């Protein structure tokens, strides 16, 4: 049983799209999306520096575009995807890529929505200087009360001993100086705001208005939601979860628990892959994993698909 996942903000690095442009049709597709959303994805994915692609309004469309173009090399059509993939999910903004890959949104609609999402969250982040930091190691029973004491939110509960805290710059600095007992490291993330917290409430309102007339379909493949790790069979519910998730914690730990319950045997992470594969290696022992970093990884991914895909996969739950 194969799961396809899409990474979230912070996975981007300068030039990470460059090798993908060598594949037939990729640059044309990126330029088409760029014109539609008024953002030069080719420039930002190949020539922009780390500070430029740290901008939320840039990073989010860039990551969704990357996940889509890389996954489409493996699954050219929705029928291919639903036949070979048992379930899909995305981490934070990666949920929009997963929504497109499972057929709930078209690629063009997902790119339009992620552009609005990025701009709305960038505006919300500009109100107060905020940020996020990953805590590596430590027990939830110790870490969560410590964060609460500092006024921070556990914005991502990623499982495998990783929690991401979010709050004001001062609160993040206090966490770096005073990490919870048992935590090995506190690593500030390359993001521009306290995502998935109350600081993003203005963005929720903006997205609620943006999705009122959005063309939506029910997903053709099991979609696993960040909200609680539940599978979602309704396109309308899926979109509403995407909107609300902007200001609520990402429960990736629950998503991985659901993968396990579904019987996952292999997991592929779309480009720029690596982060979610790392979590899966620790939380899902025995599951074969592969991160799509460059087109050089495609042949290995096709082999993994051939070994783990099943004709019975793909029917979403109601």
Catalytic site residue from 196, 199, 220, 308: 196
Where does 135-224 have alpha helices with state H? 140-149, 169-177, 201-210
For residue 104, give the 3-state DSSP assignment. Answer: coil
CA-based torsion, 20, 8, 96, 315: positive or negative: positive
Catalytic site residue from 92, 146, 220, 225: 92
Beta bridge partners of 179: none
Calpha distance 68→63 (Å, rounded): 9
Q: How many residues does the chain have?
A: 318
- Does 196 qualify as catalytic in the annotation? yes
- Does 92 qualify as catalytic in the annotation? yes
Calpha distance 308→110 (Å, rounded): 28
Nearest residue to 5 (alpha-carbon basis) of 269, 308, 255, 232: 269
Laid out side by side, the sheet with 222-224 consists of: 231-232, 222-224, 87-90, 2-6, 266-269, 288-291
Read off φ and ψ for residue 135, nearest 5 degrees.
-105, 125
Q: How far is CA 76 from CA 64, 80, 84, 249, in A?
A: 16, 7, 11, 32
Residues annotated as catalytic are 92, 196
């Amino acid at each position: 049983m194969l799961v396809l996942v899409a990474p979230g903000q912070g996975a981007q690095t300068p030039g990470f799209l460059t090798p993908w442009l060598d594949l037939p049709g990729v640059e044309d597709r990126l330029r088409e999306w760029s014109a539609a959303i008024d953002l030069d994805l080719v420039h930002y994915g190949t020539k922009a520096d780390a500070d430029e692609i740290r901008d939320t309004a840039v990073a989010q469309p860039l990551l969704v575009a990357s996940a889509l173009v890389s996954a489409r090399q493996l699954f050219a059509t929705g029928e291919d995807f639903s036949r070979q993939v048992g379930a899909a999910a995305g981490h934070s903004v990666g949920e929009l890529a997963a929504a497109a890959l499972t057929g709930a949104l078209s690629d063009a609609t997902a790119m339009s929505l992620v552009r609005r999402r990025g701009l709305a969250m960038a505006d919300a982040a500009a109100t107060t200087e905020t940020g996020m930091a990953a805590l590596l190691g430590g027990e939830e029973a110790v870490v969560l009360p410590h964060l609460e004491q500092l006024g921070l939110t556990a914005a991502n509960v990623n499982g495998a001993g990783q929690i991401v805290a979010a709050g004001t710059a001062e609160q993040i600095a206090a966490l770096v100086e005073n990490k919870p007992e048992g935590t090995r490291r506190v690593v500030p993330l390359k993001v521009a705001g306290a995502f998935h917290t109350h600081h993003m409430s203005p963005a929720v309102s903006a997205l609620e208005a943006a999705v009122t007339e959005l063309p939506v379909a029910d997903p053709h493949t099991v979609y696993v939601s960040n909200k609680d790790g539940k599978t979602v069979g309704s396109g309308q519910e899926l979109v509403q979860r995407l909107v609300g998730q902007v200001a609520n914690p990402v429960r990736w730990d629950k998503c991985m628990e659901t993968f396990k319950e579904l019987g996952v045997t292999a997991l592929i992470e779309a480009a720029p892959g690596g982060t979610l594969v790392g979590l899966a290696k620790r939380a899902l022992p025995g599951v074969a994993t592969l991160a799509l970093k460059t087109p050089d990884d495609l042949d290995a991914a096709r082999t993994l698909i051939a070994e783990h895909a099943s004709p019975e996969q793909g029917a979403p739950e109601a």
